[in-house]
Structure formats: C-alpha cells, structure tokens
Amino acid sequence: MRDAIQSADPMRDEWKRRVVEFAASEMFDRLFREGMALVEEAATYLDGPGRTDSRKLNRELALVYAAESMEVTTRLMQAASWLVVQRAVRENDMKVEEASDEKYRISKPGEPHPIDRAVMSAPLMTLVDRSRALYERVWRFDATLYSDTPQPADNPVMKQIDRLRAAAEGGAFDPLSVWRR
C-alpha cells in the first residue's frame, strides 16, 4: 500500500525521467565523446611527451607535476566512469535507480590549489584546465539530474530564444520586438 502511495507522486520519479532523457540525448553523446577523447589525449600526453617534460624539472617541481598529473587522471577517470554509467542506463544495462547509488555519483569539485603555471608545461596546464572544466560540467549534470528538487520550469533565456524563433518563422522580423514584450 505504501509503495502505491509513493509511486502516485509524480515529483518523486521526475529525476528518473530526466536521467533517462539526458542519457538518450545528443547533448549526452557530445559530452561522452568529449570526455572519452580527453581521457585518451591525457593518457597519450602523460605517457609520452609528459614524461619528457617532467624530467626537465627539478625535484620539487617534478613532485608538483606528478601531483597535477595524478589529479588530472583522477578527475578524468571519475568523469569517464560517470559517463559510462549514464550510457549503461541508456542501453538498459543498468536501472536508473541503480545509477543513482552514491558509489556512481560524482562529488563536488574541490578548490584548485595554487600552482605556478609558468614553470609547468603548457600541455599539462591545458589538461588541468580542460579536465577540471569537464569534471565540473559532469558534476553539475549529476547534481541536476539526480536531484529530487523540481527543476525550474521557467527559463528566461529559453523564453527569449523561443520568441526569436517564433518571430523569425512569422515572416517580418523585428529583432527589437522580442525584447519589448
């Protein structure tokens, strides 16, 4: 009886719909491709030219380099794992409820620690920045998709885009008219 009452609440299962829709979306496809390409790019650099770059540094800076490269690898592996779980949901290899388990979720990104970017190799710093950006995007998706809190239905940016689209499709197009409403 209790399950019947809980399942009657449409807001309770809203997050499940969001997760399934996102996993089936083109946005997810792009994020997945981007994430996996970045994993491959990082591995190629860190196993090749990155080793050479780190050998050029003194002992102290080599330790900083090693720590940064481990953080890049950790961030990318966590993001890639999350993406693979979403793909498993998409392909019905995993139930959405299972994907919501804490062990598959992404934790809030930590604050970056200060680093002298001038002494580290530019390719490593690029990987640091890109891996952090990817991780933060994945974390925001995770937090939004798996939230029990209803998502805001009114998006002012999308309203403006819809008005622009409607005005453009209507023939005579006065771009200022959409902002006067």
Same domain, 159 and 91: no
Looking at residue 2, its pLDDT comes to 41
Query: What number is the average pLDDT over the span 30-38?
Result: 98
Looking at residue 148, its pLDDT comes to 78
Longest dimension (CA), the chain: 68
Query: What number is the average pLDDT over the span 38-46?
Result: 98
Query: What number is the average pLDDT over the span 109-122?
Result: 89
- The pLDDT mean for the chain works out to 86
pTM here is 0.76
Same domain, 101 and 161: no
- More confident site: 179 or 138: 138
Among the listed residues 60, 49, 70, the one whose alpha carbon sits nearest the alpha carbon of residue 116: 60
Residue 11 has pLDDT above 90, yes or no: no
Same domain, 118 and 29: yes
Residue 53 has pLDDT above 70, yes or no: yes
Residue 110 has pLDDT above 80, yes or no: yes
**pLDDT grade for 48, boundaries at 50, 70 and 90:** very high
Tally of domains within the chain: 2
Same domain, 19 and 30: yes
Same domain, 111 and 164: no
Residue 4 has pLDDT above 70, yes or no: no
**pLDDT grade for 116, boundaries at 50, 70 and 90:** confident
Same domain, 89 and 6: yes
Residue 21 has pLDDT above 70, yes or no: yes
Same domain, 15 and 74: yes
Q: What angle do CA 54, 58, 61 make, to 5 degrees?
A: 70
Tens of pLDDT, residues 121-163? 999 999 999 999 999 999 999 999 998 765 555 667 666 766 7
Looking at residue 13, its pLDDT comes to 82
Residue 84 maps to which CATH number? 1.10.8.930
Same domain, 112 and 177: no
Coil, strand or helix at 181: coil
Residue span of the structural domain in which 161 resides: 153-181
Same domain, 88 and 20: yes
Of the chain, the percentage scoring pLDDT greater than 90 comes to 67
DSSP character string of 115-174: --TTTS-HHHHHHHHHHHHHHHHHHHHHHHHT-SSPPPS--HHHHHHHHHHHHHHTSS--
Same domain, 160 and 99: no
Same domain, 122 and 163: no
Residue 5 has pLDDT above 80, yes or no: no
Same domain, 105 and 174: no
